[in-house]
Amino acid sequence: MAKKPTYDFDLIVIGTGAGGSAAATIAARAGKKVAVVEADTFGGDSPNWSDVPTKALLHAAQLYEEARHGARFGLRSSTIGYNYPSIRNWKDLAVRRTGAGGNRKYYENEGIATFHSRAHFVSPHEISINRRRLSAAEFLIATGSNWTLPDIQGLDLINYLTPRTILEALRPPKTLYIIGGGSIGVEIAQLMAIFGTRVYIADIAGRLLPHEDEDVGQLMEHLLSSQKGATILTQTRTLAVEKENIAKRVTYTRGGVEHSVRVDEVLVAAGRQPEVDLGLENAGIDYTPKGIEVNEFLQTTAKHIYAAGDVLGRSNSFTHTALLESRIAAHNILHKNKLTPDYTASPRLTFTFPGIASVGLSENECIKRDLQVQTGLSPLNIIARSNTSDFRDGFVKIIADKKGTIIGATVVAPHAAEIIHELALAVKYELTAAEVANTPHAFLSWSEAVRVAASRIHTK
């Protein structure tokens, strides 16, 4: 009988972000010998460079914005100011408090071996790191993705910002040109505009937030331009960037006309590319520059190697999606009965003010699929809470099939990220609009808008 090969580890996880961390911990607690390899900062993007620090800054910005407009409530707040270095200190404290950023010690305390290095496959069961080799029975690739440079002349010759590097800025720039009108571009546009930056935000799409419901993009355009003085450049192609003394000159074309604008900084937030440069061909793994190919159990073409998170190159690149995949991969590594991830009710979030949250199908997707749907819309201004908080910009839209079963929803409101979960449950468990509408909703909560929107759909 052939002897089973011996490996250094049962499992090696490459990448310690959301796609890798959960699986490494679950496997170690199940008694497996586990190692993690991290090329950048332990903990990955979310706690170090994206979700946590960005939301900490946005929270401070939104408080400042609310306070500045406090006169309407009888508050004397017109002289309020801010100290940006102190705001940055708050952001750094928030990162430290979550404990997930730079958390190498956490893994070591779990009995997981840690290696700070790039990993490169040399064979299906072996990687090289820091001039040494490590072998494992199974692997999980969770290397995430990086911001990519769009094809714009001169961009590689200037010092441009990314959503990661702007977090370290000593002060908000006076003028900022943002390339990319997706979720992160819009969050940064609002953040910087609140702190006094003159913002230009450009996207090739016909509206901001092109992956969201059409009404969402229109509302955010209105809020950013009318309240924050931002210039919204939709259907715009950025052609070139060049240095102009200490500033930058950006040339763009819109509606067939070429324009140029002088700004202090240019920020690139227009797409991410999976990190697939790790010798995958040496392990027999099929991949393209758009991501690693996996089956429904998250196995690559080498069945003992799994992949999770942004490295898959899918459009649903949220931290909670990567965590879901990480937990599923861990289960499939540990057990014979394989599970498949269920993405049906994964919420999509943008942490602006008002917040934007959606789940399931959008109205545009339903039109593309030729689905017969009904929609129920509740503007925020028809519920009592909008009066007591003096906030009217937003809505809840619910989409249901012909029978009245909820298949998608969008919330634009304060606390949208919290409100969406009721609708996520409805999508996941196929509740009808009538069932949601007949559930008592607390008076003077923003969630009353959910009840109103649901009541406007007829259940057959």
**Position 2 confidence tier, pLDDT thresholds 50, 70, 90:** low
116 with 216, same domain? no
Tally Cβ neighbours within 10 Å of residue 286.
12
Nearest Cα neighbor of 335 from 306, 366, 308 is 306
391 with 431, same domain? yes
In this prediction, residues 112-141 reach a mean pLDDT of 97
Per-residue model confidence as pLDDT tens digits over 405-432: 999 999 999 999 999 999 999 999 999 9
Question: Whole-angstrom Cα distance, residue 29 to residue 16?
Answer: 16
Domain that holds residue 29: 9-44+101-146+273-334
Question: Whole-angstrom Cα distance, residue 396 to residue 355?
Answer: 12
In this prediction, residues 205-233 reach a mean pLDDT of 94
355 with 394, same domain? yes
Residue 75: inside a domain: no
Per-residue model confidence as pLDDT tens digits over 6-43: 999 999 999 999 999 999 999 999 999 999 999 999 99
In this prediction, residues 112-123 reach a mean pLDDT of 97
- In the block, tokens 């950025």 appear at 238
| CATH code of 191's domain | 3.50.50.60
Residues 6+ apart with CB under 8 A from 16: 24, 36, 38, 42, 43, 44, 103, 107, 142
291 with 255, same domain? no
266 with 173, same domain? yes
Contact between residue 23 and residue 309 where contact means Cβ atoms under 8 Å apart:
no
Residue 188: inside a domain: yes
Q: Which of 334, 369, 384 is the last residue of a domain?
A: 334
| CATH code of 406's domain | 3.30.390.30
Residue 305: inside a domain: yes
321 with 369, same domain? no
Alpha-helical (H) ranges within 284-396 are 319-334, 363-368, 384-388
List C-alpha distances in Å: 44 to 4, 312, 322.
34, 16, 12
Residue 224: inside a domain: yes
Residue 68: inside a domain: no
Contact between residue 225 and residue 256 where contact means Cβ atoms under 8 Å apart:
no
CA 276 to chain centre: 20
Pair of tokens at residue 400: 């249901």
Element housing 51 (H / E):
helix 51-68
133 with 161, same domain? no
- In the block, tokens 């014979």 appear at 336
Q: Indicate whether 3 pLDDT > 80.
A: no
Nearest Cα neighbor of 142 from 296, 270, 37 is 37
Q: Indicate whether 284 pLDDT > 80.
A: yes
Per-residue model confidence as pLDDT tens digits over 320-331: 999 999 999 999
13 with 142, same domain? yes
Q: What is the pTM of this model?
A: 0.94
110 with 223, same domain? no
250 with 261, same domain? yes
pLDDT at 1: 56
Residues 6+ apart with CB under 8 A from 13: 20, 23, 24, 27, 34, 35, 36, 37, 139, 140, 142
Number of domains in the chain: 3
Pair of tokens at residue 164: 């990661």
Pair of tokens at residue 451: 């009840």
pLDDT at 78: 79
Residues 6+ apart with CB under 8 A from 86: none
Alpha-helical (H) ranges within 99-129 are 104-109
Question: Whole-angstrom Cα distance, residue 154 to residue 177?
Answer: 15
Residue 85: inside a domain: no
Q: Indicate whether 319 pLDDT > 70.
A: yes
Residue type, 86: S
Contact between residue 203 and residue 180 where contact means Cβ atoms under 8 Å apart:
yes
List C-alpha distances in Å: 104 to 101, 108, 112, 148, 322.
9, 7, 10, 27, 19
Tally Cβ neighbours within 10 Å of residue 141.
33
Residue 411: inside a domain: yes
Residue 3: inside a domain: no
Per-residue model confidence as pLDDT tens digits over 158-188: 999 999 999 999 999 999 999 999 999 999 9
Pair of tokens at residue 202: 């450009």
Question: Whole-angstrom Cα distance, residue 431 to residue 452?
Answer: 16
138 with 280, same domain? yes
Contact between residue 46 and residue 175 where contact means Cβ atoms under 8 Å apart:
no
pLDDT at 460: 66
Alpha-helical (H) ranges within 286-405 are 319-334, 363-368, 384-388
Contact between residue 28 and residue 111 where contact means Cβ atoms under 8 Å apart:
yes
19 with 113, same domain? yes
